């Protein structure tokens, strides 16, 4: 009910039901609140969110396009398991785009951009002191987006975001590791420092090192949580998970 009224309120304020449901489900999936393999029923979601099946269905179609859910007609919709290829592809796309944008950042960045980036770094350090990975996650996203904007390519961020969703799902589990946040902030700082020095090669090296660090974290998570990943290449049968039937009998 809380979700329902909350959505209703948001709907009165802002956008349409589809966008809200889409953002909500996306956040739940990327935040692993809806883990890979979880079944998503149009009916259940519609009932839970207090809307009809239509906006839910349209949201699921968009999520399917992003690769975050798999739709099996007449069978069900499931949060997609993390696939080796998706991860590799996402990493490639992200590195290519952010690196290319950074090249332009080194030339174009002005004082104002640097101030904003520094402010984000300070906020990240604050989140690290408070041991607040959720806030850090948000600030991390904002940092990378801001960096691309500084290079004059704010629109391209949506492509990175698209790819990043797959990485983030896995990465989120590795973030709480206490040493991680400080390390990532250090790497962020290195990038900004190099940009400020107008050191293109240094900035590129720092960024790629950072992104590959993230990539490595994913591999760590993989060994710790193999159930989130797809074992084989193409599991034709999603092996419908146990529906809600809590050992009743």
Partner DNA sequence: TGACGTCGGCTACCATACAAGTACGTCAGA
Partner DNA sequence: TCTGACGTACTTGTATGGTAGCCGACGTCA
| DSSP run (H or E) holding 115 | helix 111-129
- Tokens 């998503």: give the residue: 40
Kindly tell me which residue out of 46, 156, 173, 183 binds its own copies, with binding defined by CB under 8 A.
156
What is the C-alpha separation between 92 and 106, in angstroms, rounded?
21
Binds 161: which of DNA, its own copies, none (CB < 5-8 Å by kind)? none
**CB of residue 122 to its own copies, shortest distance in Å:** 29
- Retrieve residue 38's tokens: 């979880």
- Retrieve residue 202's tokens: 């240094």
Binds 93: which of DNA, its own copies, none (CB < 5-8 Å by kind)? its own copies
Query: For 130, phi and psi rounded to 5 degrees?
Result: -85, 0
Contact string (CB under 8 A) for its own copies, positions 4-23, x = contact: ------------x-x-----
Minimum CB distance to its own copies smaller for 28 or for 162: 162
Site for DNA in 17-76 (CB under 7 A): 17-18, 40-44, 51-55, 57-58, 60-61, 71-76
- Retrieve residue 69's tokens: 């859910």
Strands (E), 73-175: 76-79
- Applying CB under 7 A, does 208 fall inside the site for DNA? no
Binds 27: which of its own copies, DNA, none (CB < 5-8 Å by kind)? none
3-state secondary structure of 40: strand
Count helices and strands in the chain by DSSP H and E runs: 10, 3
| DSSP run (H or E) holding 217 | helix 200-224
Can you give the binding site for DNA, defined by CB under 7 A?
11, 16-18, 40-44, 51-55, 57-58, 60-61, 71-77, 237, 239-240, 243
Can you give the binding site for its own copies, defined by CB under 8 A?
16, 18, 58, 61-62, 65, 73, 85-86, 88-89, 92-93, 95-97, 99-101, 153, 155-156, 159, 162-163
């Amino acid at each position: 009910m809380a979700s329902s009224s909350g959505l209703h309120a948001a709907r009165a304020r802002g956008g349409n039901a589809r966008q809200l449901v889409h953002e909500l489900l996306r956040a739940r999936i990327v935040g692993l609140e809806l883990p890979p393999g979880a079944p998503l029923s149009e009916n259940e979601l519609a009932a839970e969110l207090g809307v009809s099946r239509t906006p839910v269905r349209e949201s699921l179609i968009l999520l399917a396009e992003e690769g975050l859910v798999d739709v099996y007609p007449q069978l069900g919709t499931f949060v997609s398991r993390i696939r080796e290829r998706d991860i590799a592809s996402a990493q490639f796309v992200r590195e290519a785009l952010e690196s290319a944008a950074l090249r332009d950042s080194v030339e174009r960045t002005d004082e104002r951009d640097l101030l904003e980036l520094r402010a984000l770094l300070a906020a990240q350090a604050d989140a690290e002191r408070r041991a607040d990975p959720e806030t850090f996650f948000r600030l991390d996203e904002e940092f990378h987006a801001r960096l691309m904007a500084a290079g004059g390519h704010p629109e391209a961020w949506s492509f990175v975001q698209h790819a990043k969703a797959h990485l983030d799902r896995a990465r989120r589990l590795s973030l709480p590791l206490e040493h991680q946040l400080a390390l990532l902030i250090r790497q962020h700082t290195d990038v900004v420092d190099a940009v400020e020095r107008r050191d293109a090669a240094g900035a590129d090296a720092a960024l790629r090192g950072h992104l590959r660090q993230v990539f490595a974290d994913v591999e760590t998570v993989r060994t710790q949580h193999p159930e989130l990943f797809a074992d084989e290449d193409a599991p034709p049968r999603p092996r419908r998970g146990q529906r809600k039937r809590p050992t009743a009998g």
